[in-house]
Amino acid sequence: MSELLRVESLVKNFPLDRHQYIAAVNDVSFTIGRGETLGLVGESGSGKTTVGRCVLRLIEPTAGRIEFDGKDITRLPDDQLRALRGRMQLVFQEPWAALNPRRSVRQAIEEPLVLEGRLDADQRAERVDEILRAVNLLPKHLSRYPKQLTASEQQRVGVARAIVTQPDLIVLDEPTSALDQSVRAEILDVLIELQNQFGTSYLFISHDLTAVERVSHRIAIMYLGRIVETGATEEIFARQYHPYSKALLSAVLYPDPHRRLEQFLLEGEIPSAINPADECSLYARCPIGLPSCLEAFPPLEEVAPGHHAACYRWRDLVGGLATVPDATSVPDEEGTV
């Protein structure tokens, strides 16, 4: 699988004053292949949405390198970046807020094609009809407005808008979290079908681990601005080499009770992201932490073929040698801790 996106040492800081800043993204690196889905997961505030917006250059990175199709887009002038916009698209979390209430479904889906300027009116109409069928909407929907659609239909329109220019990469920012459980699976099926049809790559940002498992080829787990573990989806769900990953996965609620992992709970609150120290940011919450964890943030090292984790005690954790005391924290229903 050839590489489409490479992110190296990405940093995004938000200044508070002359001496303080919020480290939203702290030295993040990953790749996405053509036709591949990378699931980016973590608790609210972990920095995953900021990563997605940096990748699309909707916000400017503080440092790092973002290569799209072999070209470093962090240094592209505005006119060249604008020419790439059709190849990189975004699907928002809240479909009703992402659609213009004054534009019909046809106008909403057609707008990216108008901005591109490559197709005439007949070609645009043909393309819109093709995409409408691809997201399982009917011709009758074209004349409707967002308020006349269900939440599922609104999100299908959002997906159609993103895919209509045949982009190479789509960043999906919590695309199912605002939907009822009954329709989430429908949207995920649409995304999988579109990827199979068009070969599009996805950066799938979510805290819904069951959705991530269903659509992702690989997973990167973020905690407080850093990636702490990454690997193939089936490997991540089968075996976790980082305490945060283990806690996150043990909180997932499956229909099959036999799939539930043994509980591994974290105590306390997430530390502040203001001027973070160069140490393991999970230490205060980690039941297996040692004082040596405070010396420096653990490097993201390969712990198994294609599987990387940032933990000094990963051997003890996966080998069952680490002592884990009782904890009282209770995970929420979304699978966060």
Convert the pLDDT of each residue in 1-47 to its tens digit.
799 999 999 999 999 998 999 999 999 999 999 999 999 999 888 99
pLDDT at residue number 267: 86
Residue 178: which residues within 8 A CB-CB, separation 6 or more?
93, 94, 95, 151, 155
Share of the chain above pLDDT 70, in %: 92
pLDDT > 50? residue 329: no
Average pLDDT, the chain: 90
Whether 330 shows a pLDDT value over 70: the answer reads no
Which residues, other chains included, contact 193 with Cβ-Cβ below 8 Å and sequence gap of 6+?
A: 134
pLDDT class of 79 with cuts at 50, 70, 90: confident
Span 267-295, mean pLDDT? 90
- How many Å is the Cα radius of gyration of the chain? 21
> Residue 93 — pLDDT band, cuts 50, 70, 90?
confident
CB half-sphere exposure, 1, CA atoms < 13 A: 14
pLDDT of 129: 95
102-111 mean pLDDT: 95
Q: Which amino acid is at 167?
A: P
Mean pLDDT over 296-325 rounds to 83
Q: Could you tell me the pTM of the whole model?
A: 0.90
Say what the pLDDT of residue 261 is: 67
> What confidence score (pLDDT) does residue 75 get?
87
